[in-house]
Amino acid sequence: MSPAAPTSASPHPNPLPRGEGGRGFKLYQCLFRPLLFSLPPEAAHHVGICGLQAIGAPPLRQIIGSVLRVSDPALRVTLGEGPRAIHFANPVGLAAGFDKNARVLRGLEAMGFGFLEAGTVTPVAQPGNPKPRIFRVPEAQALVNRLGFNNEGIPGILANLERTPKLSIPLGFNIGKNKDTPLDRAADDYVKCVEAFFPRADFFVVNVSSPNTPGLRNLQAPSELEPLLRAVAERADALAAQSDRPRPPLFVKVSPDEDFGESVVEIAIKFRFAGVVATNTTRSREGMPPATPPDGGASGAPLRARSTELVRKLYRAAAGRLAIIGVGGIFSAQDAYEKILAGASLVEIYTGFIYKGITLPRDINRGLLELLRRDGFKTVGEAIGKG
């Protein structure tokens, strides 16, 4: 699949070009990306985390934020109603996996995101799978990872959060189970994460779809998913009652490779989940060169069409009863717009952020404003599902 392949979701015959960006984009493409890409992917990520730690300190945070934030009422999105509502200044978020340990939330906040998703978090710290475990596939604008939920666990991440003031944008926690926790005890791990991060969470994402933890995707089967989502919902309800605050919105993150879409929708609605995150990485290597590592989950441009089609399918099945966060292959405003037209209320980036750099959230938001005006939509909300 070509990274620039058109989509039937766009109602306009002449969409904006995918290669938007200004001086910041060119500087990243010409200078910083070659330097980072000269390092092994995981080492480059560590360098990026160090840079974001510096950006997160004042006054650099304020300076960067003033350049990269895009503020316009047309971009605002609200999920839910009344005290349960959660407000987003713009629909572009950062997907889980980038800041697994909630170390650089302030720096990422300055990038102009509308929300952030930390994690995946597991109750006990774990090292993940052996290295090397991240691979770039630049010919396909893709990444392959087989990380395996490497993270510092609840105690380490809580310590990081204690050093982080409350953000001005919504913060979600992507939660999972430890590798050695048997599937029949998986709910215990998810509940522990809800308990630990409830005071700081604006929303939770139940991750049952990573391909890098053995057996995890079996939790998407209805017989496994229903008791898991029930346990998470009941514990979140109890904590909300104890703290006299609304229950944070709950989402479930699904795979692009298994066809559990409609059953996931009905189970999520049954337990008053706010929505579905579509999608996680794929085991498929369609659209990627033969030398691509066979193990692990692929993200980036080859996932774009598949994830957008699942967004569309879930949107139709939910019929307005759930919100959808679209993830997969977003490198431009046009890519994000395709997912919104397919039914996504919000979108998340990850691989595009690696390839395009820190100006990507700004470029997407600016481009979305142009696309909305071009097609006669006054707000993002008006465009949702109109493809």
pLDDT string in tens for the chain (387-residue length):
333 333 333 444 444 444 455 555 576 677 788 889 999 999 999 999 999 999 999 999 999 999 999 999 999 999 988 888 999 999 999 999 999 999 999 999 999 999 999 999 999 999 999 999 999 999 999 999 999 999 999 999 999 999 999 999 999 999 999 999 999 999 999 999 999 999 999 999 999 999 999 999 999 999 999 999 999 999 999 999 999 999 999 999 999 999 887 899 999 999 999 999 999 999 999 999 999 999 999 999 999 999 999 999 999 999 999 999 999 999 999 999 999 999 999 999 999 999 999 999 999 999 999 999 999 999 999 999 998
pLDDT the model gives residue 2:
31
Spatial neighbors of 13 by CB under 8 A, at least 6 apart, are none
Given 8, 209, 210, 243, the catalytic residue: 210
Which structure tokens are listed for 123? 């109750």
Please tell me the total number of residues recorded for the chain in this structure: 387
β-strand pairing of 171-175 with 115-121: parallel
* H/E segment holding residue 253: strand 250-254
CATH architecture of 27-383: Alpha-Beta Barrel (3.20)
β-strand pairing of 250-254 with 203-207: parallel
Give the Cα separation of 220 and 63 in Å (integer). 43
Closest CA to 51 of 103, 126, 113: 103
pTM as predicted: 0.92
Does residue 71 carry a catalytic annotation? Answer: no
β-strand pairing of 171-175 with 142-145: unpaired
pLDDT the model gives residue 15:
45
